[in-house]
Amino acid sequence: MASAAQNEHEAYRAIVLGRSGTEVLLVPNGERQILPSVEIPRWQRVAENLTMAVKSEWGEEVVGLFELPVKNDGLRYLAAQQLCTRCESRMPTRWVPVSALGHNTLIDVHDMEAIEQALAICKGKIEETPAGPFARLGWFCDLRNWIDSVIEPMGFHLTGEFRQLNANPSFSLVRFETDGPALWFKAVGEPNLREFAITSVLAQLFPDRLPRMLATRPDWNGWLSMEVQGKDLSEVQEQVFWERAADALARLQIQSIDRGSQILCVGAHGLGSAALSTVIQPFLSVVELLMERQTKVPPPVLDRGDLLALAESLESAVDAIEATGIPDTLGHLDLNPGNIIISNHRCAFLDWAEAYVGNPLFSLEYLLQHARRAFGQCSDVRSRMIDAYCSQWDGLISQAAMANALAFVPLLAVFAYAAGNDTWRQPQERQQPTAGYLRSLARRMHREAKELADRRTLCPQ
């Protein structure tokens, strides 16, 4: 039981630097000292859990800066900066000048090395580690001052309470409480830089379907938005809200019909029929190489004949769905319930790093797959979501054309997801575990192509 509990948590050592960066928080242990340590549940946000633990256990309010690369011995470190002392520590701690530290001061010599490395990153002295804006000491105070300048003319102010969801030199996601509406600050770095420009444009074009954007920080690739009232769709059990999400998705996409060029210009993926046709052969050539490298069976290996047949199926599906006349619109390759905020009055869509312009039904298919996982294979929520979605297209697309397109979407949606973002072209993406994931997507396409052929054999029309 103890071993199972350990496997469900990971230990992190916290390098809590003082506001000036000249001191570090340590825990006395005999004549020497150790860094504070926190147990964090696996698969949960490290920064959020660590900052909460430091606050509750040691009384210090901190902001996370970044994680250090994991050591060979498995040690994990997260650097943070003190903001203020909130309450008395539950155990003895002391602020020790960094200049007074030595390898004999700390119980574990690795702690000293980690402290030195963290300080070097904060000061931008390690060339191989890009020092983004959120590795710098003092960035959080600068952020709060900037937010104050944005919202003060609006008549509300920060309360001091915040929730930090990640700690990374180039990415940031923080929720701020105010005496008015709650706010979210988000910033992005490589490989998601496009999300900044895409979100800025979409918030202007479709203000009813995205959070209200209050201001941007181009130097940080960041933006400040009002929190959308409602719940993540992933937290909602009432099927009617899933129907409303499908309805809202269709409305948004119909609004975007004439906006494709604007959205493409800021970095969205171009996934029109011509673009999809162009990447079928190159993508499957990469898949063939990955299949040849597979060492374990099962899962099955797709041979050259299987992949040639899949290429034919994909080409036929692209031609067929183009013939339906459904226009290209805004789409979301990563549309999942966690990216949708729903209430009785509004539905908003978040996290547009994987925006595309192409067939709108791909996004619907991704949402339908999540509904199947949430409610089970036998639930009729899928058919009700399709009805809600398609009803918005009445008058624009015939029911026959929509039904025909829906038959090809399960195959093409997987292909668009797998090949649409070009990461498969990078040599490093062909290594494990990405290689295994691409193989699994190819096997999924192979099954979908076979099922499509079987359905069309039974019902040719």
User: Using one digit for the tens of pLDDT, what is the confidence trace for 24-64?
Assistant: 999 998 889 999 998 898 888 999 999 999 998 889 999 99
Q: Report the pLDDT value the prediction gives residue 9, as an integer from 0 to 100.
A: 85
Residue 1 belongs to a domain: no
331 and 412 together in one domain: yes
192 and 99 together in one domain: no
Instruction: Give 439's pLDDT tier (boundaries 50, 70, 90).
Output: very high
Q: Report the pLDDT value the prediction gives residue 1, as an integer from 0 to 100.
A: 40
36 and 149 together in one domain: no
pLDDT at 329 over 60: yes
- Return mean pLDDT, the chain: 92
- Closest C-alpha to 81, from 123, 33, 113, 42: 123
Q: Report the pLDDT value the prediction gives residue 367, as an integer from 0 to 100.
A: 98
pLDDT digits (tens, 9 = 90+) for 259-289: 999 999 999 999 999 999 999 999 999 999 9
158 and 267 together in one domain: no
Q: Report the pLDDT value the prediction gives residue 92, as an integer from 0 to 100.
A: 86
Mean pLDDT to the nearest integer, 208-227: 98
Question: What CATH number did the domain enclosing 66 receive?
Answer: 3.90.79.10
Q: How far apart are alpha carbons 186 and 213 in whole angstroms? A: 11
319 and 183 together in one domain: no
Our count of domains for the chain comes to 3
- DSSP classification of residue 87: S
Torsion sign over Cα 255, 259, 262, 264: positive
Please identify which residue in the block is written with the tokens 């047949």.
309
Question: Domain ends where: 174, 203, 226?
Answer: 226
Q: Which two tokens stand for residue 99?
A: 């200049």
172 and 311 together in one domain: no
Q: Report the pLDDT value the prediction gives residue 392, as an integer from 0 to 100.
A: 98
Select the more confidently predicted residue: 397 or 128.
397
Q: Which two tokens stand for residue 253?
A: 């996409």
pTM value?
A: 0.92
Burial bucket for residue 223 (CB in 10 Å: 0-12, 13-18, 19+): buried
Residue 134 belongs to a domain: no
Residue 133 belongs to a domain: no
Q: Report the pLDDT value the prediction gives residue 34, as an integer from 0 to 100.
A: 92
367 and 453 together in one domain: yes
Main-chain dihedrals φ then ψ at residue 138, nearest 5 degrees: 95, -5
178 and 290 together in one domain: no
292 and 375 together in one domain: yes
Question: What CATH number did the domain enclosing 413 receive?
Answer: 3.90.1200.10
b/e burial code for range 382-413 (CB count within 10 A of at least 16 → b): bebbbebbbebbeeebeeebbebbbbbbbbbb
Q: Which two tokens stand for residue 333?
A: 């390759």
Question: Domain ends where: 85, 100, 128?
Answer: 128
122 and 206 together in one domain: no
* Domain region containing 327: 232-458
Q: Report the pLDDT value the prediction gives residue 393, as an integer from 0 to 100.
A: 98
Q: Report the pLDDT value the prediction gives residue 31, as an integer from 0 to 100.
A: 84
204 and 260 together in one domain: no
201 and 272 together in one domain: no
